[in-house]
Amino acid sequence: MQQATTLHALDAIGLSEAVSEVLAAAAGSPRSLAPGERLVEQGEVSTGVCLLLSGIVKACRNLRDGGVQTLALYTSGDVVDSLAYVARRATATIAAVTPSRVAEIPAARLELLMETHPSIARALWRSTAREAAILQEWVVGMGRRSAHSQIAHLMCEIVLRLRLGGPNARVHRFPLTQAELADIAGLSAVHVNRIVQGLRADGLIELGRGWLRIQDWDRLIEVADFDPWYLGIGVQAVDRAG
Amino acid sequence: MQQATTLHALDAIGLSEAVSEVLAAAAGSPRSLAPGERLVEQGEVSTGVCLLLSGIVKACRNLRDGGVQTLALYTSGDVVDSLAYVARRATATIAAVTPSRVAEIPAARLELLMETHPSIARALWRSTAREAAILQEWVVGMGRRSAHSQIAHLMCEIVLRLRLGGPNARVHRFPLTQAELADIAGLSAVHVNRIVQGLRADGLIELGRGWLRIQDWDRLIEVADFDPWYLGIGVQAVDRAG
DNA sequence: CGCAACATTGAACGGTATCAAGTATGGTGG
DNA sequence: CCACCATACTTGATACCGTTCAATGTTGCG
């Protein structure tokens, strides 16, 4: 069953079942994380690559003045912070948002695997690329979108990317607090609250503790200026020859 | 001479000289770009990977409402927008900031090269990772740093990363206008101007048309909360076995 | 029940945008 | 060499967006 979870997870990053099995075999025994528990501390030397088997995990940067900026969200099947592997040091702290399970593949073992299975190296590259694409979208949101639009955009992205249910679902699980949304958006929690109320008043969403109902997906997308295309980057193997 | 420039350029992304030569041979004939000239339009299908041989080039996103957000800067030796190659579509428009020369390696040829030279695939992965690391820094700046600190941070980053001269140089070439800084920082050009004047008044910098004098590097770093470490990500090959 | 975490509300302040001039600066053609 | 033009930079006034501080309500859980 453990095995099955791992395989399902790796599916998402575009590896064949056979290769996924190889990778799963290389992973150490899974570790469980409670909400808020930290997996990696920023600045730490990276010892390998982490696969997220279940749950939701975030990467955030802690500033000198006490401020926090979230830099990434991960869901089951994601490679957690592939950037840290390339950089050989973590640029951010990794912490669990919901109860989660992760499995680590030590660097040395991964190096060998990538030599024999180039598709694994490609999959990790795609992971990094997807992260970069999402960061680009966040930069656009923070720089050039109104806070309303930015929060709406984040809601669209999070619901789709964390696979909390398709646009057709009536109510989505939504494990982020308003304060956590603020850490992502670079806004204050108070302001996020007011924006959420605005979106509610406009009949676009309803947001409760742990859930989100998108009442008018079309108008939300309109407000957010949301194009889901970028979420597809790297989720499946690309065969250029074909 | 053409060849020599190319080789020097690729050096920066951590390829051995022999492999650089292979890559240089695969590149098409260089294309020159005038300032403002566009190389790729956002949404376009990617046809390969571009190497920047000389000059400075930027990636920016044009919004519906006319706003512009810059997402990356490239200097000679950089792989331009490796993300577009992985995504198979450009997520941003690429345009020259200064007169530049680029050479493209068609996707099909690159695929073959990566099979025979895995170090090329690794170098491209590192390029993507470096871009992601810089985007992270920009997100932190936009989200949690004061505009003063953010602009100071950008100046540190740009001077070092675009190799406009080391911290010891008296005066750096600085080819970005205040409006371009604003497009990066997500601020208005007017406000950037006022911040620049503040930094000048504090005796940190002097900024003219095309040049930047950093009068007090230590205090500028202090204001910016700048740690150059992230700029080193991916600039040289990492041999984990060693 | 009582506590802790999350959400909401109000008031006041400050940072940033916007609009609308006006002033260098450098390049170009005459 | 000069006049002109386009681009970049500067400045001021005003309004708004978003923050901060502080307090209160609400929910769920031990």
Tens-place pLDDT, residues A94-113:
999 999 999 999 999 999 99
The answer to whether B97 touches B158, Cβ cutoff 8 Å, is: no
Proximity of residue A147 CB to strand D below 7 A: yes
- Residue A99 pairs with which residues in a beta bridge? none
pLDDT recorded at residue A16: 76
pLDDT bin (cut points 50, 70, 90) of residue A4 is very low
Q: Please report the residues numbered 1 through 60 in chain B whose beta carbons come closer than 8 angstroms to any beta carbon of chain A.
A: none
| pLDDT tens digits, one per residue of A16-51 | 777 777 877 888 899 999 999 999 999 999 999 999
As a whole number of angstroms, the distance between CA A193 and CA A184 comes to 14
* CA–CA separation, A10 and A90 (whole Å): 22
Helix, strand, or coil (residue B166): coil
Tokens 């109902």: give the residue.
A213
Residue listed under structure tokens 């577009």: B84
Q: Which residues of B9-30 are buried (b: 16+ CB within 10 A; e: fewer)?
A: bbebbbbeeebbebbbebbeeb
Q: How far apart are CA A64 and CA B224, in angstroms?
A: 11
Q: What is the mean pLDDT of residues A38-65?
A: 95
Q: Between A68, A69, A114, which is nearest B139 by CB?
A: A69
Among candidate residues B114, B117, B215, the one with its CA nearest the CA of residue B167 = B215
Query: In chain B, positions 113-132, which contact chain A (CB-CB < 8 Å)?
Result: 114-115, 118, 121-122, 124-126, 128-129, 131-132
Best of B13, B62, B83, B110 to substitute, by most chain A Cβ atoms within 10 angstroms, is: B83
Reduced to 3 states, what is the DSSP secondary structure of residue A117? coil
CB proximity B184–strand C (7 Å threshold): no
> Which residue among B88, B122, B135 places its CB closest to the CB of A238?
B88
C-alpha to C-alpha distance for B122 and B241, rounded to whole angstroms: 15
Strand, coil or helix: what is B99?
coil
- In B71-110, the residues whose Cβ lies within 8 Å of chain A are 71, 82-83, 86-89, 91-92, 107-108
Query: A109: exposed, middle or buried (C-beta count within 10 Å: 0-12, 13-18, 19+)?
Result: middle
CA distance to A183, B20, B42, B58, B203, per residue, from B33 (Å): 40, 23, 17, 12, 36
**pLDDT band at residue A211 under the 50/70/90 scheme:** very high
pLDDT at B242: 35
Q: Could you read off the pLDDT of A151-193 as tens digits, one per residue?
A: 999 999 999 998 776 666 779 999 999 999 999 999 999 999 9
Count how many Cα atoms sit within 13 Å of the Cα of residue B46 in the half-sphere of its side chain.
Answer: 25
DSSP tally for chain A: helices H, then strands E: 9, 11
Q: How far is the CA of B145 from the C1' of C13 (A)?
A: 19
Position A152, amino acid: A
B190 CA, D13 C1': Å apart:
14
Enumerate the nucleotides of strand C whose atoms come under 7 Å of any protein CB.
5-11, 15-20, 25-26
Pairing mode, strands A56-62 and A68-75? antiparallel
- Asked whether residue A197, judged by its CB, lies under 7 Å from any atom of the DNA or RNA strand C, the reply is yes
- pLDDT the model gives residue B169: 74
Q: Which chain A residue's Cα is nearest to B238?
A: A86
Taking CA atoms, B199 is separated from A88, B212, B216, B217, in Å, by: 35, 12, 10, 12
**Residues in chain B where the model's pLDDT stays below 50:** 1-4, 241-242
Give the DSSP H/E element, type plus range, for residue B40. strand B38-40
Strand C contact at CB of residue A62, distance < 7 A: no
Confidence check: pLDDT of A68 > 60? yes
Contacts of residue B242, defined as CB under 8 A and 6 or more positions apart, other chains included, come to none
Q: How far apart are CA A26 and CA B174, in angstroms?
A: 48
Closest-CA distance of chain A to residue B175, Å: 22
Say how far apart CA A131 and CA A99 lie, in whole Å: 22
Which strand D bases fall within 7 angstroms of a protein CB?
7-13, 17-22, 27-28
B64's tokens = 């519906």
Contact B150, B142 (CB under 8 A): yes
B182 CA to C22 C1', in Å?
21
Distance CA B188, CA B200 (A): 18
For residue A180, the distance in angstroms to the closest alpha carbon of chain B comes to 13
B68 touches strand C (CB under 7 A): no
Mean pLDDT across the stretch A74-95? 95
Give the pLDDT of residue B231.
93
B96 alpha-carbon distance from chain centroid:
11
* pLDDT value at residue A241: 43
CB pairs under 8 A between A and B: 142
Return the bridge partners of B69, or none.
B61
Cβ–Cβ below 8 Å for B143 and A69: yes
Chain A residues lying within 8 Å of B186, measured CB to CB: 139, 142-144
CA dihedral (B195, B199, B200, B201) in degrees, to 10, reads: 100
Of A64, A87, A125, the CB nearest to B86: A125
